[in-house]
A and B are shown apart, each in its own frame.
Chain A
Amino acid sequence: MSNIFIRQTPLPQLAPPPDSQGVVGWLRENMFSTPLSSMLTLLALLIIGWIVPDLIRFMFVDAVWSGDGAACKAPGAGACWAYVRDKIGFFTYGLYPETEIWRVNLVLAVGAVLALWLLWPDAKGRAMAAVLFFAAYPVISFGLLTGHVPFPMGWFPGGAPGKLAVWAFPLILLVAATGLYFARQRGWAFLLIGVCIWFAVGLIWRDFNLVKVGTHNWGGIFVSLLVATIGIVFSLPLGVLLALGRRSEMPIVRFCSIVFIEFIRGVPLITILFMANFMLPLFVPQEWSPDRLLRPLIGVALFASAYMAEVVRGGLQAIPKGQYEGAMAMGLNWSQMMRLIVLPQALVLVIPGIVNSFIALFKDTTLVAIAGVFDFLKAIETQREDPSWAGPTISTTGYLFAALFYFLFCFGMSRYSIMMEKRLSAGRKH
């Protein structure tokens, strides 16, 4: 039995086959696994080889970074970034007076901070941020951007009765607020205090004497952001109301909501802007003639609110029926149920949907050019024809710059939306 061999120790593990490992292995599996796949890889490499080197050469290697029109007209010149640098002020602020640009910067910075606070996952005190963003920020921005006092001070009569009113008004509000607070109506109390603060801001504002800048001077990136932000700020409350109305059991309310939503969603944004631009001045008395920027803003806000209503409705439908029933079993009335139980959950659920709406709205702001508003894309369009910069690469450079800006912004927002969606569904995946 000495010629029987029994291994005592296992064989050493062999290395895997060399061409299934490392770069070669990855290539074999992902790019050349079947003949069809290899052909597609070659085709794809051909396409990339056709586009990418030319693009890099145009954008970076041959690009003109500084100089003037003559440098960009030179044969073989690439993208004319000097033209973009020259015009960046117009592209960003339009015709806003140079000395007052700090106001625009302040508005944009405050807006960015508030938006970050609202959107940062797990940020603290977001209710406060929401109040600031939806109530205080529009008022302050209106004041800063136009230069007008952001309170209808004209409603107060002049002279001695005016002075009395100026003292009486906040006093009455404060007394009413205190009374309401102790009558357990805290929400209304805070509302009245808010109006008081608003009035105080208006009073202080009168002494600032800011230069008034008409809306026909606004333009560029700042107008695009403004239209999109106003669209979102007004469409969110309105959309929530419409969504709740659509799910309401009151037949007239439901009917009106459905008609409004389906009407707005069934027509192109351009026709809504036409309606706002041409029909709105006919529907209001002559003396109110709405401002040239206000009309497309109203159109955009209505448009966005119909789409936001559908997004919020999706969120409301995703709340399990048990939440509604539990709230009703606890004796909460409809407004308490919505305010305390349903809407906080629904709105958090649809944050990705809201961000997607914002991306779509930001892209749709390019259409307000039809109403004569100088948004970013129209600014680029008009400057294309500038004779001191005329050249074969100017059009492409302008469009490339616009595409880069929109792409970075929208892509960034969409990554945020995907991240939030993953976080929100983490607890739901089964």
Chain B
Amino acid sequence: MTDAPAATAGPPSTTRFNWRSLLWQAILTVTIAWLGYEAFTNARTNMQARNIPSDFSFWFNTSGFDINQTLISYSAVSTYGRAFMVGLINTLAVAAAGVFFATIIGFSVGIARLSSNWIVAKLAAAYVELLRNTPLLLQLLFWYNAVLKQLPHPRQSLPFPALTAQMPGLTTLLIGGGAVLAAAMLLWFGKRANSAGPVPLLTRTLGSLSLGAGVLILLFGGMLIGAGSSSNDVFAGILGFAKGQYGYLNNRGLYLPFPQFAAAMQPVWIAFGCGLVAAIVFFVWAGKRQLRTGQQLPRASIALAILFIPAALVFWSAGNPVSFDLPKPRGFNLSGGWRIYPEFFALLLGLSLYTAAFIAEIVRAGILAVEKGQTEAAGALGLRRQTILKLVVIPQAMRVIIPPLTNQYLNLTKNSSLAVFIGYPDLVQVFAGTVLNQTGAAVQVIAITMAVYLVISLVTSLIMNIYNRRVALVER
């Protein structure tokens, strides 16, 4: 290949201009243009011959089919466009829930795999290997057909969560033990907070959690017995739900109590909103104060307290204005309550567990990527283990973890299209399945479906690139 003629001043240009590259590009362009033209004309001929619509007018036609799980209102007289919306929202719902659970499970399993406890590490490794080496579709079909569909009929529903059915006294033990543990943590946290030096992350987390749990149980516990009365037998309500008096599990789904908010809840939401703003402001201010003066406050616990306590007080003083729509047996089925369909549950379970296995490996790689010298140097500086994790290891590990993590989130979103095999009405099943079959407008429907997934992928990649550039190591 010949170089461009050398300039008389400055370094030689690195872009090559020569006739051969021009020829190759011309050939490529002509080939692609010709193929595109051929495909276009063939498609037009074939579609006219088979009476397939070639525009988007089907969008406004009546759909004529029903969808059993919709998060927005939809009926058989809605348009195909509305059906598209239903499918899209279902896909986003299962993807969001899947991402949430997959992250939690994935991080736990990844950290467990690095544990010094041999049996925990091997269990985590077995989980990862088992789930990564079997196809996702097989797992979905297993959960749907071999587990959820084998549950009993609605007339013989299993109570949910029914902890006492498994082991008598376990529920009382758990709730009592949990209360004792929360009290102990509160006391210990108070004692630790008074001691000199920064409070470790674990203590603070447990402190916040126990504080929040205590507040929630005390102030909202009355919800669980249904009526908006102020005589709240809190533990009876919790025990009742734990014993399975209000939840039903059968092969038509999981039925749970659904909260109904009275009009008197408005002030509570306002108080919650103000609490949220105040909590964020406090959180940011406390961080800045720490950078300025070096004084630390237990930011998270106080922020949580600011978030929940005013709302809880308003709620309490308004007389607990919430009631529960409890599912009740009626005929061959159940009515009322919040029904979680087995298709959604199977898809969520399969996707979360499968993606969690991949996330576990990513987390493990990220934590191992931080050099041991960092931990040792932090220890030599006198930092305790929790602080080392929080300030030294995890920020560096996050830089390695986040790019493949967002890739896994994208994979989860794309894998949710497997809902078409188990009948969950997601975008592919509703739009590229039913709507395509009814209208025959294959090109338009598939193009729209692909465009949706492409937009999700590209937006996520864009955000990820921005993040990468911000945290990238500046190299010489």
Contact = CB atoms under 8 A, between A and B. Distances in A.
Interface of A: 30-31, 33, 37, 40-41, 44-45, 47-48, 249-253, 256, 262-263, 265-271, 274-275, 278-279, 281-286, 333-334, 359, 363-364, 366-367, 369-370, 377, 381, 384, 392, 395-396, 399, 402-403, 406-407, 410-411, 414
Contacts of B115: 37, 40
Contact of A33 (B116, B130, B132): B116
Given A30-B118, A48-B123, A249 B21 contact: yes
Given A366-B137, A367-B137, A399 B46 contact: no
B448 to A, nearest CB: 10
Contacts of A399: 138, 141-142, 145-146
Contacts of A256: 28, 32
Nearest to A328: B1
A366 B24 contact: no
Given A249-B15, A363-B135, A407-B133, A271 B43 contact: no
Interface of B: 1, 15-16, 21, 24-25, 28-29, 32, 38-39, 42-43, 46-47, 49, 52, 115-120, 123, 129-130, 132-138, 141-142, 145-146, 150, 414-415, 417-418, 420-421, 428, 432, 436, 442-443, 446, 449-450, 453-454, 457-458
Contacts of B457: 262, 265-267
A268 B453 contact: yes
Contacts of B32: 256
Nearest to B436: A278
A250 B138 contact: no
Given A270-B420, A271-B432, A279-B43, 8 more contacts: A33-B116, A262-B458, A268-B417, A270-B418, A270-B428, A271-B417, A363-B134, A399-B141
B453 A279 contact: no
Contacts of A252: 25, 28-29
Nearest to B140: A366
A253 B141 CA distance: 42
B134 A267 contact: no
A270 B116 CA distance: 41
Given A278-B436, A403-B138, A271 B446 contact: yes
B95 to A, nearest CB: 12
Contacts of A267: 414, 450, 453-454, 457
Given A279-B442, A282-B443, A334-B1, A40 B120 contact: yes
A271 B450 contact: yes
Nearest to B441: A278
A249 B132 CA distance: 38
B263 to A, nearest CB: 44
Given A31-B118, A278-B442, A279-B446, A253 B24 contact: yes
Q: Which 9 A-B pairs have the closest CB atoms?
A: A266-B457, A410-B133, A30-B118, A268-B414, A278-B442, A363-B135, A283-B39, A268-B417, A252-B25
A406 B131 CA distance: 11
A400 to B, nearest CB: 9
Contacts of A363: 134-136
Nearest to B414: A268
Contact of B453 (A47, A266, A414): A266
B137 to A, nearest CB: 4
A271 to B, nearest CB: 5
B135 A250 contact: no
Contacts of B130: 407
25 contacts: A30-B118, A40-B119, A252-B29, A253-B28, A267-B414, A267-B450, A267-B453, A267-B457, A269-B414, A274-B446, A278-B442, A281-B46, A282-B52, A282-B443, A284-B39, A286-B46, A363-B134, A363-B136, A366-B137, A370-B420, A377-B137, A377-B138, A377-B141, A395-B150, A414-B132
